[in-house]
Amino acid sequence: MTLWALLWITLSAAPPAAAEEQCLKQVFGRYCLGGDLERAVRGQPAPLGRQSNGDSLALVFADDADKLYLLAYKGQIYKVVRAYAISTQLRFDDIYNDLRHIYGEGEDDSRFPSYANAPAARLASIRRGEGRAVHRWKPSPEWHIELSWTRELGVSLAYIATALDAERTAQTEGGL
């Protein structure tokens, strides 16, 4: 038997869980985008919140004053979100500048009402839930980053597994 045949047999005999455990991006130093949710939360305190919808599951954990959201589809983490306890223009700008320095300009997908042309008016529209600041970076075809400021979460930073998110979106009518 050739070495290639032996290698192929060995790899194809690997258990499915080992094949599925992939890490597209290590997020916040401890979460594996695309990895197994159960493995990620093993040994952690109980989540503050839990919501499920079909094959989708969202867990909320405290991280000092901030909150971390782990979103999984079919047991794999497709999104990790840090919602910052302090949501200010300075916080948003600091994170934006750090990401721009690392990943480049990215793309602005913000939505504001027509009257919100000045920074103060944009901030007011976010607080009222009429506007949202969203900036995206796509450093890899496998994952992307989204910095947003919304009424619901405040300033938040999300790392998203592109294919898993698309699969979940296609299979799920509601959203987590």
Give pLDDT tens digits for 148-158: 999 999 999 99
Q: What is the pTM of this model?
A: 0.82
Judge whether residue 132 has pLDDT over 90.
Answer: yes
Phi, then psi, of 58 in degrees rounded to 5: -120, 130
Compute the distance between CA of residue 84 and CA of residue 86 in angstroms, rounded to an integer: 5
Q: Which two tokens stand for residue 138?
A: 């796509």
pLDDT of residue 119: 87
Could you tell me which of 76, 58, 55 has the C-alpha nearest to residue 67? 58
The number of residues making up the chain comes to 176
Quick one: average pLDDT of 124-137? 94
Quick one: pLDDT band at residue 81, thresholds 50, 70, 90?
A: very high
Q: Name the DSSP letter for residue 141.
A: S
End-to-end C-alpha distance for the chain, whole angstroms? 49
Compute the distance between CA of residue 34 and CA of residue 74 in angstroms, rounded to an integer: 11
How would you class 15 by CB atoms within 10 Å of its CB: exposed for 0-12, middle for 13-18, buried for 19 or more?
exposed
Judge whether residue 89 has pLDDT over 50.
Answer: yes
Compute the distance between CA of residue 109 and CA of residue 129 in angstroms, rounded to an integer: 16
Quick one: pLDDT band at residue 98, thresholds 50, 70, 90?
A: very high
Compute the distance between CA of residue 78 and CA of residue 143 in angstroms, rounded to an integer: 9
Quick one: average pLDDT of 42-67? 92
